[in-house]
Chains A and B, each alone.
Chain A
């Protein structure tokens, strides 16, 4: 399979897989709550239904921004997902794609923020300010931990470089370097906030501000926002599974179909630990509490890991 076909195939594939992951997450969540839960393909049904619904734009919204932002959000997060996914299937080496993925994920959430706040709803305004605080809280430690991994292994900014390093060493980076292990911990603590699930679903807390930024979105726009959310969650877990926990490295295989399956299984496990489990066992925090938490634990962890990786551990 050449690079181009891999990339073209991975775009719809990442949409499908991220929706399935969302469905699995919902099913696991329900089973842990003694509920039966929806079928695993429920997110796909949801999308079909939402896309067939009427488009409603509130009178207070600035129409263009309100319409365009969900599209930007969905497409950037899908792009990020497919970049990571295609990296596992074939060996593509684009310099800086690691930074690109992180950047695209940030764009996806910022686009949704702008779109939501363009609706003119006061709840969206509150959601906007909360989301800004949360982005400042989690993006910095997350970025530092990714940089630390890029510096710590063979200094490289390509996902492929990190993957190749791990399969050459026959172990995931988590086990190879102390700095990578700490960075992995920091990254995984940041995932629930980036995915905005309980306890960090503060920007869209449904009982407080009625889904905040998404309050005015409905129909196709909501569907796009859901795609954006599902695929950015998938990207985060897959990225963690690729750069920290590249399990195919034990077999010594490089990018192939087997490594894809192993990677997906790993990222499913990562999703269970970082998204499904916290949202089942915790109560929602307040903005101040969450902010303090992120600037205490993950930021310190990721800084330590960055220093260690520069020193060479």
Chain B
């Protein structure tokens, strides 16, 4: 065996200072990001972040399609927060075309939105437990998450890609039966999340998570991190409260913005657990006060699409991971001139370096997981570390050429 390689063998490992490749394929990071971590002993001294392994060119694809097709396309940007993407996109279109969805439609949108937040946060908590080696909690959390996915299937017919939104409303209505089922299921979930909260407050779990991956308030502001990552560092921002969309303006009293103090992995985890309770409160409020009325215009969606004039709009939503921004520019003929998506993970990844430097190898997976990276939606641009030598050739000139070509 190996002897076939003959004299070519050489081992060039400087054991005092190792460069570890974390990803793009790694059991801890199921997402295609590559972290080149330099370690001395167990301590991390430097980190380079490489993205772009699954660049799919979705923005470019969207420019060749009509608006309804794009709606289905962008739902596939992310498998976890698919509803956030479509909501954000339809909001922009409704703004350009001056289409007002009915109250009931907005409430239903918000309902799916908050259910999605619960399912996303439970997914995160499971992964967090897995990263710190707590497999039982991981299994339990995902078992709870299944209940939410079942609800999605009952309401919209799909577990992941709900296809709930359409221009001017939503596509599926709630029956009384569904409302009853949701409120029963939500109570179950609330009970289970309380258990999960207790497990995370257990000492073995807390020891692994507190005091690592620190990002203090000023750094968080400076690096413009968003969502639970920012709130974990005490930055009080939330699009739902600051720029209310969908039905959040009516529901202002029914939830509060959770902020943490520590700025470490534990604070970010705790923020997400507590946000799950807030989402449960919101869902109860929505089910109580669901207004009557149509869920979408009677007109065919294609007619509405063709009526949307040329124009541009920016739309914001608070996705489970933070602020999601869409810039949409329509061409007035049912198509798009430009679509720009700024996903929350892209903002949060910037903070990763200052969190990682100085930690131990054992903490890397927990820290990376703590920003809940969703890289499938981030991979639309390549980040190049200007300091490292091997990527010198991909610099301004290359980018300039790219710009000229388009």
Q: Does B172 touch A at the CB level, under 8 Å? A: no
What number of A-B contacts does a CB cutoff of 8 Å give?
104
B19 within 8 A of A: yes
> Taking the complex as formed, is A55 at the interface, i.e. its CB lies under 8 A from any CB of chain B?
yes
Q: Are A284 and B134 in contact (CB under 8 A)?
A: yes
B9–A205 CB distance below 8 A: no
CA distance A187 to B233 in the complex (A): 43
Contact of A67 with B1 in the complex, beta carbons under 8 Å: yes
A283 and B204 contacting across the interface, CB-CB below 8 Å: yes
A207 near B: Cβ within 8 Å?
yes
Q: Are A286 and B2 in contact (CB under 8 A)?
A: no
Contact B15 A125 (CB under 8 A): yes
Q: Find chain A residues with CB under 8 A from B139 CB.
A: 33-35
Binding stretch for chain B, among A57-65, A232-240, A255-263, A297-305: A57-65
Name which residue of chain B comes closest to A60, CB basis. Answer: B11
Whether a CB of chain B sits under 8 angstroms from the CB of A287 is: yes
**Closest CB in chain B relative to A204 CB, distance in Å:** 11
By a CB distance below 8 angstroms, the chain A residues around B131 are: 207
Chain B residues 8 to 38 lying within 8 A of chain A, measured CB to CB, are 8-11, 13, 15, 18-20, 26-28
**With A57-B1, A123-B20 given, is the CB distance from A285 to B204 under 8 Å?**
yes
Question: Which residues of the other chain, B, contact A169 by a CB distance below 8 angstroms?
Answer: none
From A62, A205, A206, A280, B362 is in contact (CB under 8 Å) with A205
The 5 closest A-B pairs by CB, nearest first: A284-B133, A57-B2, A283-B134, A207-B28, A63-B2
A interface list, Cβ under 8 A from B: 32-35, 55, 57-63, 66-67, 120, 122-123, 125-126, 129, 198-199, 201-202, 205-210, 279-287, 289
Listed by A's residue number, 25 A-B pairs whose Cβ atoms lie within 8 Å are A32-B136, A34-B139, A55-B1, A59-B8, A59-B9, A63-B3, A67-B1, A126-B18, A199-B133, A207-B130, A207-B131, A208-B364, A208-B365, A280-B136, A282-B133, A282-B134, A282-B204, A283-B133, A283-B137, A284-B132, A284-B208, A286-B208, A286-B363, A287-B42, A289-B207
Further pairs besides A207-B132, A210-B27, A283-B205: 18, Cβ < 8 Å: A60-B9, A60-B11, A62-B11, A66-B2, A122-B19, A123-B20, A129-B41, A198-B134, A198-B135, A199-B204, A208-B28, A208-B361, A209-B361, A283-B132, A283-B133, A284-B134, A286-B362, A289-B207
